[in-house]
Amino acid sequence: MYFTDSEAGAVWALAPKESKLRLLHHASPERFAYPNGIAFLPGERGLLVAHWLGLVTIELPGGRVAEVRAANDSAVSRIDGLYRADRTVRSAEGGRLARAGRGAKDAARLRR
């Protein structure tokens, strides 16, 4: 299980049959403010995490973190939650985040 801790600015993991949490990512509020959305990347090879300032990917199991750079006509800040739908990731506001599964190399697009 993976979840965000918005107040602490952290992403945590809890493995099956374990009782101890593992910290996957934590950064200062200037770089990772109020994470509040998490979804698996295709193939569950990583996580896409929304925070107040944008999006990051976290590779699994290694934990490497990368900023997702958005195309010029996209908005990826202030997303309030993520979920997987078919082969895309959507924001809680109803936008569609296409091709978000390749990290910083691919541009994430949020269509409104």
Query: Is the per-residue pLDDT at 103 higher than 70?
Result: no
Q: Which residue has the higher pLDDT, 7 or 104?
A: 7
pLDDT at 99: 43
pLDDT at 111: 31
The rounded distance, in Å, linking the Cα atoms of 87 and 107 is 16
pLDDT at 93: 63
pLDDT digits (tens, 9 = 90+) for 2-21: 999 999 999 999 999 999 99
Query: Is the per-residue pLDDT at 44 higher than 80?
Result: yes
Neighbours of 3 (CB within 10 A): 14
Query: Is the per-residue pLDDT at 82 higher than 50?
Result: yes
pLDDT digits (tens, 9 = 90+) for 62-73: 899 999 887 776
User: Hey, what's the torsion of the CAs at 45, 7, 97, 39, to 10 degrees?
Assistant: 30
Instruction: Give the rounded percent of residues in the chain with a pLDDT score beyond 90.
Output: 39
The model's pTM? 0.75
